Amino acid sequence: MGRPLNKRNFGTGAGKIQVTSWRKESGSESQVAGSIVRQRSTRVFYVNANGTKENMTLVNKAQGSLLASEFIVNAKDDGGTATQVTKFRNRTIQTEGTANFGYSLSDSNAATSTVRTVDVI
């Protein structure tokens, strides 16, 4: 797995990584803000989905097409365009395709074209 993410980025408080859209093992997809509780690997996380916690896989899919136990997280570039995070690492993220970027946690646009901002609660 490499170096895990810093635990201070997890939880339900302000400034934590926001799960953009998720689908529990049973039920339909939801865009109600979820949060990451714990990291299992670069793509598997223990997610708080509207009060229910379960292991979910981070995927690169459009909202509305998630399968059971999948979730997405958005990141913005310097122009405000949202892309999906496909892999988290300690200091970098991989977005749609194979592009790797440094990241910060913020709801604003990224400061430069070489950084992305991951949405927060």
Amino acid at 18: Q
Residues 104 and 59 in one domain: no
Residues 42 and 65 in one domain: yes
| Domain of residue 27, residue span | 7-72
pLDDT score for 1: 56
Contact 19, 36 (CB under 8 A): yes
Residue 100 maps to a domain: yes
Residues 38 and 85 in one domain: no
Residues 21 and 54 in one domain: yes
Residues 53 and 85 in one domain: no
pTM of the full predicted structure?
0.89
18 bridge partner residues:
35
Residue 2 maps to a domain: no
Residue 1 maps to a domain: no
pLDDT below 50 — which residues of the chain? none
Residues 78 and 66 in one domain: no
pLDDT score for 90: 82
Domain count across the chain: 2
Residues 54 and 111 in one domain: no
Residues 64 and 90 in one domain: no
**Burial class for 75, CB neighbours closer than 10 Å (0-12, 13-18, 19+):** buried
Measured distance CA(21)–CA(70) in Å, rounded: 9
pLDDT score for 99: 87
